[in-house]
Structure 1
Amino acid sequence: MLINKRVFIAEFMRRPNRFEAYVKLNEKEVIVHVPNTGRCKELLTVGSKVLLREELNPTRKTLYDLIGVYKNNKIINIDSQIPNKVVDEALKNKKIQGLIKYNIIEREKTFNNSRFDFKLSNNFGEEYYLEVKGVTFELHGKTMFPDAPTERGRKHLLELIDAKRKGFGAGVLFLIQMSNINSLSPYDDMDKAFGEALRLAYNNGVDVFAYECEVGEKFITLSKSVQIVL
């Protein structure tokens, strides 16, 4: 998908809280919104080169969203609103193996006590619930999720197990918001309960997908599957 707004390169300075950061843009200190509640500590380091997306909304407190970070000449997109849009595009373009047969794509659908990112169906009456998780933590070509504890993420996995037991298709897709990745694993040291729930989901028939992306300053698109190590 293309980013149809102006994008600027700036220098990261500090992040006083989850939602705001200070950057240097055109030699001026500017406050920006961070659309990612994860820690991103290994990415948002002092002096790192970051990408800002201009948001011309008069009701906003800030003029820019911090959407990406350069790490060793690789762009990592950190916008938590992007994964669902990228996956929606990929589903429509039949790029996700195992989900090609679903031609009806609905967003934000409720099952039991959870709202899943997608409900997929087709003309044969088959239904499938899909949850998407954006991945930004990488170390030596290996990615892990989550980079902060997520009780909500664990709950989603348990609801996917329930959907599977009730006869629906169910899956979780980890969208890795960068390229050239070797594998994806649960980050057990960060959230052991999530890792246990992911393995339980897999052992109960829930599909686990992982795809990396091609990322540029003004685009991000799902590219190829990545090995999953549970």
Structure 2
Amino acid sequence: MEYNKNIYDAIFINRPNRFNAKVIYNDEEITVHVPNTGRCKEILIPGCQVFLREEKNPTRKTAFDLIGAYKGDKNISIDSQIPNKVVKEALENKVVDKLKKYTNILSEKTFGASRFDFKLLKDNGEEYYLEVKGVTLEENGHCRFPDAPTERGRKHLLELIDVKKSGRGAGVLFLIQIEDVKSFSPNDDTDPEFGKALRKAAEEGVDIFAYSSKVTRTGITLDKPVKILL
């Protein structure tokens, strides 16, 4: 998907809080919004090149979102609002092999008391619930999630187990927001409970997907499956 908004280069200075960052843009220090509450410490390093997306909403306090950065020679997307849009486009284009037969794609739908990113339907009414997680933590081609403890993420996995036990399809898709990676696993060092929940979900028949992305200056698309190490 293309951003369809103006994208500008800047230099990262620091991140005084999880919502904002200081950057140098047009030789001037400005404050921009960071649409990712994760730590991103291995990405947002002082002096690195970052990408700003212009936002023209007059009610905003900042004029730009910091949506990506160069990590070495790789462009990595850090926008946590992007993964659902990328995955929806991929589902519509039948890119995820196991989910090709689902013809109706509904966003933000509930099952019981739980809300999931997608509800997929086949022509015969068969249901499938899909949760999406964006991944930005990468080291030497190996990616992990989460980069900060997430009780909400663990809860989603346990709810997907309930969906599966009901006879419906259930899955979680980890969208790795960087190209050319080798593998993915849960980040047990940061959140061992999430790792336990992910393994339990896999044992209960919940589908676990991990895909890399093609990331450019002006857009991001789902690319290819990545080896999962549980």
TM over 0.5: yes
Q: Tell me which residue corresponds to 2:39.
A: 39
**Amino acid aligned to 1:111:** F
Residue aligned with 2:97, SS: coil
Q: Tell me which residue corresponds to 1:216.
A: 216
1:113 Cα deviation (Å)? 2.6
Residue aligned with 1:76, SS: strand
Provide Cα deviations, 1:119-147, integer angstroms capped at 9, x if missing partner. Answer: 00011111000000000000000000000
Counting only pairs closer than 5 Å after superposition, residues 1-230 of structure 1 correspond to structure 2 as 1-230=1-230
Q: Structure 2 length normalisation: TM-score? A: 0.99
**Amino acid aligned to 1:15:** R
Residue aligned with 1:161, SS: helix
1:57 Cα deviation (Å)? 0.6
Gaps of 5+ in 2: none
Q: Structure 1 length normalisation: TM-score? A: 0.99
**Contact in 2 for aligned 1:33/1:62 (Cα 8 Å):** yes
1:73 Cα deviation (Å)? 1.4
Residue aligned with 1:201, SS: helix
CA distance in 1, matches of 2:174, 2:194: 13
State how many pairs are aligned. 230
CA distance in 2, matches of 1:115, 1:125: 19
**Contact in 2 for aligned 1:112/1:159 (Cα 8 Å):** no
Q: Percent identity?
A: 63
Residue aligned with 1:119, SS: strand
CA distance in 2, matches of 1:113, 1:133: 20
CA distance in 1, matches of 2:112, 2:123: 23
CA distance in 1, matches of 2:58, 2:33: 14
1:114 Cα deviation (Å)? 2.0
CA distance in 1, matches of 2:73, 2:26: 21
CA distance in 2, matches of 1:141, 1:152: 26
Provide Cα deviations, 1:146-166, integer angstroms capped at 9, x if missing partner. Answer: 000000000000000000000
